[in-house]
Chains A and B, each alone.
Chain A
Amino acid sequence: MPPILEVKELKKNYGDFAAVKGVTFDIQEGEIFSLLGPNGAGKTTTISMLSTLYAPTAGDATITGHSVTRDPMAVRGVIGVVPQDIALYEDLTARENLLFWGQMYGLSGKALASRVDEVLEQIGLTDKAKNRVKTYSGGMKRRVNIGVGLLHKPRVLFMDEPTVGIDPQSRRAILDTVKDLNKKGMTVLYTTHYMEEAQELSDRVGIIDHGELIALGTQQELTRQVGQTETLILHLGENDDPEALAKSLDGVKDVLEAIATDHEVSVIAHEAEDVLAAVVTKANERGIKIHSIDIREPNLEAVFLHLTGRALRD
């Protein structure tokens, strides 16, 4: 079966700056595909090109067979977009917003009214539908923002960091909504810089950094890249020097790699317990106080760290 979304060497330059440097990937129908990367990695630019907002500098993408460069109007009809920032009319009610956006997607009459009711039910705002959006909490606004993207039952839904800046409860509700939509057959392209969200939702993940897709595959395939290792994360004090500690761990027995990040040192080893004593000794020798230690199983964070030498949140 051909992929529902196919991206080929997509590039976007802003003057001399290359925001996206020729990414290539595809998404199968019914899949949740996450683009994982830190802020400024090129996730939003990629989604903006796929949703036909920006024209690519080079390359192309097809969605349900329609080219984003040659047939953008056809693409717009089959995609739903949930932008990173809330894009609603705050002086309109939730219902009025949904009615207006539904009309922009060609819905009208009874079909529109009943679809708006369905979406309000789906996002849990039926009771508050007559309140103006400006009176809503951040989480409620996010839900309406998602609802707008669902109105016309798109075949592919683009969600650009939909959980940024909201409370844990609303975040949970949004992740559950995404899973629910996917169960009903919707294909989702989800961008995030939260490793946990990508891990929870995704069938496959593309890791993007500095405009390049540096890894692509299922979570198992990706974690396999860092081998059967564990990561020991040392949380240091504000005045301690993580670089110095990381350097001192070079050559220590069983330490595969030590990477200094902001107030932290990540030590990669086959077995964390094997290196724990040596790491604590080295820190004591340099007068570095370790506040706490985490041991992590191989995950996407470790993959990113392994591939870039930086933490995802850097």
Chain B
Amino acid sequence: MLKTFLIGLKDLRLVFRDRAALVFMLLAPFLLTVGMGFVTGRFSGTSASGLSDIPVIIVNLDKAELGDALVDAFNSEDLAELVAPSLSSDPEAARKLIDEDEAAAAVIIPEGFTESVIPAAGTMLDPNAAEADPVSIEVYVNPARPTSAGVIKAIVDEFVSRVDEGRMSGMTSVFQMLMTGIITPQQVESEGRALFEDLETTDSAALKLKTNDEGAQATEFDVLAYMAPGMALLFLMYTVSYGGRSILAERAQGTLPRLLVSPTSPAQILGGKVFGIFLTGVAQVGILILASAMFFGVQWGDPLGMTALILAAVFGATGWGLLITAFARNPNQVSSIGTAIMLIFGVLGGSFINLEVMPPSIQFVSKITPNAWALDGFTTLALGGGLAQLTEPIIALLIMGATLFVVSALIFGKKNLVQK
């Protein structure tokens, strides 16, 4: 175990002494991210998200104050460029349209939503009044458009959060006024309703997507939060094939045979090489993410989720690096195949173009790439999700990595590690 660790550390040290590798691993993705930031107007402020006209179907069964407020929010000028809402009265029809990929999500506001939040007249101070059952807004998302669906979900989450916040503060204010004698018990009902009415009128304003000077809890989808990991993941494939190449390079330069005649087992050596690739990948993605946070102010979201996602993404990518190495005969072949795979996975996995604009068949095939799963996870994080929401991409990446490790190990087992 110690030798495995030492071999991995040695490889990490060697990578950081190879200027050409550093250019590809760190500088190239960083500069590409900057370039794409300019192209999309991220640095000029002409675009906040890079996404626009996200089709969303709204079914307002509530037909009361809060349901109407949410519909108004989606139709507000602030969201005019981002979303393209359409109204429907049939939840099933709306879900069907989502299933048919006609829109990114359906927002279904159930009947009684407003009543579940704002007490009915005459019941505010009545301890015997039955409490309304909690009613939830349903966001029926299109799994083929995770980014857009995530934006819609974030808007609704924000609305619900604001409503809840307003309800609690309103209740607290009314009771404080009552306790301090500012209002009489007879005035509670009217003051309370007045506060809730204020809440309804201010909701649409509060539901703006956050701008930089607003600084509240609202959600912003930053285009760099998609592009920076996209580029990092693209070049992560370079890193893992570079690492795989080092296995064959060590064979050619004689250090691998030398390791094999030391009291170090082949499993320890191979394990060390894999660990080295993994460490390098984690360092690369970690540095790029830190750099984009420092230089561009990208908000990466939940640190725990992000760490878990990086580890899983690098694990999955390392599996691909090993598989390429297992099939290749020499270091040059690894480089050639690795570069091709890097570009193919970049396109397929959404590093260059958002997968949502790709045909369903491409979206299906993209699932073989670590890029697609990891980008899905990074998007979730950027939209405010946490570790709990990353279960699917993380598990998929771990299964991908483990499967590829096993296949590669079998191929390595059949091929003599020292054969020239």
Contacts and interface: CB of A to CB of B under 8 A. Distances in A.
Nearest to B259: A104
Contacts of A101: 258, 262
Given A52-B261, A88-B255, A104-B6, 9 more contacts: A52-B260, A76-B261, A83-B257, A85-B253, A85-B254, A91-B18, A103-B3, A104-B264, A105-B262
A274 B264 CA distance: 61
Nearest to B252: A85
B415 interface: no
Contacts of B265: 73
A53 B261 contact: yes
A89 B6 contact: no
B254 A100 contact: no
B418 A53 contact: yes
Q: Which of B18, B255, B264 has the most CB atoms of chain A within a 10 A radius of its CB?
A: B255
A79 interface: yes
Nearest to B265: A73
A276 B259 CA distance: 55
B344 interface: no
A86 interface: yes
Contacts, number: 59
Nearest to B264: A104
Given A89-B255, A91-B17, A103 B6 contact: yes
B261 A148 contact: no
B261 to A, nearest CB: 4
A216 to B, nearest CB: 25
A77 B263 contact: yes
B254 A104 contact: no
Contacts of A132: 17
B14 interface: yes
A81 interface: yes
Interface string B374-403: 000000000000000000000000000000
A89 B259 CA distance: 12
A66 B418 CA distance: 23
B96 interface: no
A91 B13 CA distance: 9
A87 B253 contact: yes
Given A76-B262, A105-B263, A100 B10 contact: yes
B261 A79 contact: yes
14 contacts: A53-B418, A54-B418, A76-B262, A76-B263, A77-B263, A85-B253, A87-B258, A89-B10, A91-B18, A92-B13, A96-B13, A104-B263, A104-B264, A148-B258
Given A53-B418, A91-B17, A92-B14, A81 B255 contact: no
Contacts of B262: 76, 101, 104-105
B260 A53 contact: yes
Contacts of B261: 51-53, 76, 79, 81
A88 B253 CA distance: 8
A88 B261 CA distance: 14
A105 B3 CA distance: 10
A168 interface: no
A106 interface: yes
Contacts of B14: 89, 91-92
Contacts of A79: 261
Contacts of B10: 89, 92, 100
Interface string B36-76: 00000000000000000000000000000000000000000
Interface in A39-65: 48, 51-54
Contacts of A81: 258, 261
Interface string A82-126: 010111110110001000110111100000000000000000000
B251 to A, nearest CB: 11
Contacts of B6: 100, 103-104
B215 to A, nearest CB: 47
- From A52, A54, A100, A105, residue with most partner B Cβ within 10 Å: A100
A87 B257 contact: yes
Count chain A CB atoms within 10 A of each CB in B253, B261, B263, B264 and give the residue with the most: B261
A247 B210 CA distance: 100
A103 B13 CA distance: 16
Contact of B257 (A53, A77, A104): A53
